[in-house]
Structure 1
Amino acid sequence: MGLVHLLRAVAVEFDLLGAEFAARHGLHPTDVRALIHLLDAAREDSLATPGRLGERLSLNSAGTTALIDRLERLGLIRRTRDTADRRRVLLHVEEKAQELGWAFFGPVINDVRGVAEEFDAHELETVRRFLTSALDATRRTS
């Protein structure tokens, strides 16, 4: 149970950071989660669509549209038509959002990267395996 409690504590701290970031920039915590999902999609080189975003955030169509409208109005994301399928809308995170994120989260990211440098490759692989399995278990539950 000790690992579960530590993992929960890390999750709570990240959630508090996300809430502080949201408050500083006039965002809702769901806006921050949406930006994270869109950044993850870009990093994984997968298409980010309103439907996928709504599914990831457990929002209905109207809620997803309102969220996208709000983020677009703030200049944090943009919508484009998919060139392969003009019916499909794709979502992209704007540089402004990335800059705001790095300005706020950069120091903690660098600190965590520094902590990771204290572990050898085998230890990091064990941590990666554990976190991946914990994430999979959490997703199966929800």
Structure 2
Amino acid sequence: MHKPGPEMEIVHLLRAVTVELGLHTARFANRNGMHPTDVRALIALMDASRAGEEMTAGRLGAALGINSAGTTALVDRLERAGHVRRVRGERDRRKVVIEVSEEAVELGWAHFGPLIGRAVELLRGYDERELASIRGFLGGVREAAAQGD
């Protein structure tokens, strides 16, 4: 049997990492009575917040690929659970923006913090050039995956 080259070994390893991260996320969702889409929504909201962007329900639905009714049900469910709140936009007070609660951030850190800490610890073992290569590779794979079929 033909042994795969180093590129395919890395692709298979990336697939395995993706599966394990998905399982890790599913355990978090399950333990906290959440749907996997709820977790994806919280991640999208935190990413927007980190980027200094306000996230409306419409933008959130588009980011998750769900329709308006599904987005409303999702935000209502997350709000009832205390994970998000609806607030007026900073720049446009007419706009309703969805924000993640501190409690949800703390809940996420309690579960994902050790994994994030281990990843940061591993990355500290690489020099700037290696980090740039890792960043470039992961960014390229993410872009390719985002383009879909």
- Unaligned runs of at least 5 residues, structure 1: none
Question: Could you say which residue in structure 1 is the equivalent of 2:63?
Answer: 56
Alignment partner of 1:80 is 2:57: no
What TM-score results when the alignment is normalised by the length of structure 1? 0.95
Q: Which runs of 5+ in 2 are unaligned?
A: 1-7
Residues 81-100 of structure 1: per-residue CA shift (max 9 Å, x gap): 22433432101100000100
1:69 has 2:80 as partner: no
Partner of 1:131: 138
User: Which of structure 1's runs of 4+ aligned residues deviate more than 3 A?
Assistant: none
Q: Which residues in structure 2 correspond to 1:93-112 (within 5 Å)?
A: 93-112=100-119
Distance 1:84 1:131 in 2: 33
Percent of counterpart pairs with the same letter? 53
Q: Is the 8 Å Cα contact of residues 26 and 36 (structure 2) preserved in structure 1? A: yes
Is the CA contact 2:38–2:78 (under 8 Å) kept in the aligned structure 1? yes
Task: Identify the residue that residue 2 of structure 1 maps to in structure 2.
Answer: 9
Structure whose alpha-carbon radius of gyration is higher: 2
Provide the aligned C-alpha RMSD in A.
1.1
- Cα distance in 2 between the residues matched to 1:17 and 1:83: 34
The partner residue of 2:37 within 21, 30, 36 is: 30
**For the residues of structure 2 that align with 1:52 and 1:2, how far apart are their CA atoms?**
37
Count how many residue pairs are aligned between Structure 1 and Structure 2.
142
Distance in 2 between the 1:100 and 1:112 partners? 19
Distance in 1, Cα, partners of 2:90 & 2:116? 35
| Per-residue CA distance 1:94-117 (angstroms, 9 max, x = gap) | 000010001111111111111111
TM-score (norm. length: structure 2): 0.91
Q: Contact conserved, 2:29 with 2:35, CA < 8 A, in 1?
A: yes
